[in-house]
Amino acid sequence: MTTQRSRTDIAWLTLLLLVGATALSMWLRLPKALLDVVVVAALLGKARIVGLDFLGLRSAPAGWRLSIGSGIAVVAGLALALSV
């Protein structure tokens, strides 16, 4: 239980770091193409943390992780591909 609690705390801190890193990338005014890639990478990283460590998909059958993960990747990939 203590290990799970530590993992949850680390997940939260990592989420905050990813939000901060995204904000910093925007503040630095990176080139649009690079910024979009950073934004989508942060999106996927945050979604993975929330899915595995908060929503509990780490202990769920692999099919659930694969389905939800690939669904998020498809939406993010489509949004990136269609960004102007």
Partner 1 sequence: MSDAALPGETDEGAWPLFRGLQGHPMMWVLIVSEFAVFAAMLCAFAIARRLNPDVFAAGQAQLHAGLGALNTAVLATSGWCAARASLAAASGRSGVAHSWLFAAVVVGLCFLVVKGVEYAGLVGAGHGLEGDLFFTLYFLLTGFHALHVVLGIVILAVVAWAADREAIETGVAFWHAVDLIWIVMFPVVYLLG
| Binding site residues, partner 1, CB under 8 A | 1, 4-5, 8-9, 11-12, 15-16, 19, 22-23, 26, 35-36, 39-40, 42-43, 46-47, 50-51, 53-57, 59-61, 64, 68, 71-72, 74-76, 78-80, 82-84
Q: How far is the CB of 11 from partner 1 (least distance, A)?
A: 7
Tokens of 77: 């990939």
- Asked if 50 contacts 72 with a C-beta cutoff of 8 angstroms, the reply is no
Tell me the backbone φ, ψ of residue 56, rounded to 5 degrees: 85, 20
Cβ–Cβ contacts within 10 Å for residue 57, how many? 19
Q: How far is the CB of 9 from partner 1 (least distance, A)?
A: 7
